Structure 1
């Protein structure tokens, strides 16, 4: 078995272990809503499935002499929006569900998906100009994600509970 394949399978095992750990923690939630544990379990499960495909030699294609592992993009287009939702739900923990900022959640997820899809199109582009244009669009979407996290989402966290929005290094 080649090293890359072995690493894919080790990653799959790690993700399954992480999902099981979240499941165990969900049995004693300590005030954390069950939907947050469901999101936390879904992230490594989905990622494990994508990397299992790569471990089986699937989820890749060759374009212009370069291998594109599109299974990674399939992983990222689901797992990173879920990570952003988990982050947003943490920031909005003390806000009643009916008052949560759904437009902010949609904006975070939409910008993230645009960023990932632009990366995939850049990776699949044979033309360097097209690749650069897709890359620039993806960077623009990434800057939107950063802006929403570090301004809007952080302010919500600070306003609801100062400890949620402030990082204090040890």
Structure 2
């Protein structure tokens, strides 16, 4: 029988889809593209966790159970979250900076693929080497978020720039939890057993995906209600 938190995660993702679909029906001058991205995140993530809850999406490596479906989920959902953050950072500017977005998504994919490769490597030294490469890719993501993307965000009206700042800070803090959990779990130093590690990953993912999108879209909707939302 699948762990209960996998089903709770699927339910949380379904709740996110329902909420964002309701907001999509009443966009309050927030571009519908931002709602479509928000809806796509829990749809994609919930589908892969449903596969895991049904007993798939996993393999055994050197006596450890590796949930490869989580990495496939993260490749899609984390990339979409970066799209959403970029939309917030360039909301009131002409153009969407495809080059910068491509660099963000590319670094994100490198980070996640490094984590998957590390998790499926039996050799400990090789695993930590790949983990270090993934952390380096995360540093690149942070550098892009807090460097060029923040510079673009600051060219927006002050209220919009503040929304980006809050969204970027929240996402950065939440994403820091992933490498720390990986390191503390059975793939790393083993301070946490597999079940608590999986549970904590699920909780962190709910906060990072549905929770973060609620904050990001909610702040944009609030700006619109106060007449501060400016669209290029």
Same fold (TM > 0.5): yes
Superposition RMSD in Å: 1.3
What secondary structure does 1:57 align onto?
coil
Aligned equivalents of 1:85 and 1:115: distance in 2?
16
Aligned equivalents of 2:130 and 2:106: distance in 1?
16
Aligned equivalents of 1:65 and 1:132: distance in 2?
17
Between the two proteins, the alignment pairs up a number of residues equal to 164
Find the counterpart in structure 2 of residue 15 from structure 1: 13
Find the counterpart in structure 2 of residue 38 from structure 1: 36
Render the CA deviation track for 1:35-91: whole Å, top value 9, x for unaligned: 111110000011110110111011000001111000100110000000010011011
For the 8 Å contact 1:155–1:165, the answer to whether it is kept is no
Find the counterpart in structure 2 of residue 122 from structure 1: 118
Aligned equivalents of 2:160 and 2:150: distance in 1?
8
Q: Which runs of 4+ in 1 moved over 2 A?
A: 161-168
Question: Aligned-pair distance for 1:119?
Answer: 0.2
Question: Aligned-pair distance for 1:158?
Answer: 1.0
Aligned equivalents of 1:165 and 1:67: distance in 2?
43
Gaps of 5+ in 1: none
1:109 partnered with 2:101: no
Aligned equivalents of 1:52 and 1:43: distance in 2?
14
The TM-score normalised by the length of structure 1 is 0.92
Instruction: Work out which of the residue numbers 149, 159, 167 in structure 1 matches 2:145.
Output: 149
Render the CA deviation track for 1:17-37: whole Å, top value 9, x for unaligned: 111110000011111111111
Gaps of 5+ in 2: 167-232
